[in-house]
Structure 1
Amino acid sequence: MFERTATIASTSGLHARPATIFVEAATAYDGLEITIGRAGELAEDAMDATSVLSLMSLGLEHGDRVVLRSEAAGSEQALDRLVGLLETNHDA
């Protein structure tokens, strides 16, 4: 399993606009199952990273830490790109 940790940078948290940007990027990796969950929580509790509703249900705020996971070979670059999106302030 591959995983990356990120800190939510958007000042208003992961609301509709940054969540949509993130989900569109995650969906572009067709065939990769990617999950997102709060850092420190069980991997089994993580949500589908390609679902805006799932992502927004996490209620992530500025400064929250999350873990992205994928079991697919070759997913490291996808996770790195997605971390970059989460660590960008889309409210600026």
Structure 2
Amino acid sequence: MAERRVVVASAVGLHARPAALFVTAVTKIGLPVTLTRRDGRTADARSILAVVTLDVKCGDEVLLCAHGDDAEAALDRLAELLTHG
């Protein structure tokens, strides 16, 4: 399992459009990815409803976890997406 801690840079956090872009990127990767807030709440990053429900705001630190081949490279791409707003 690969992991990355990332600070979300989007001014609106992972709400609506940024969450949709993130979920689309996760889905294209084709690996199971979870998104966990600092308070321990976790969501399947392939689900827009689950991601939006986490209520991740700008400046929040999240943990991305992925399983499978190329998980490290996949998390690098997803971390880049979250850290560049």
Length-normalised TM-score, structure 1: 0.85
CA shift, 1:73, in A, is 3.0
Runs of 5+ unmatched residues, structure 2: none
- Determine the C-alpha separation between the residues in 2 that align with 1:56 and 1:13: 9
- In structure 2, what is the equivalent of residue 38 of structure 1? 37
Structure ID, larger Rg: 1
Runs of 5+ unmatched residues, structure 1: none
Q: Percent identity?
A: 42
- Determine the C-alpha separation between the residues in 2 that align with 1:71 and 1:46: 15
Moved over 6 A (4+): none
- 2:69 equivalent to 1:73: yes
Q: How many residues of Structure 1 are paired with residues of Structure 2 in the alignment?
A: 85
CA shift, 1:62, in A, is 0.6
CA RMSD of aligned residues (A): 1.2
- Determine the C-alpha separation between the residues in 2 that align with 1:68 and 1:47: 10
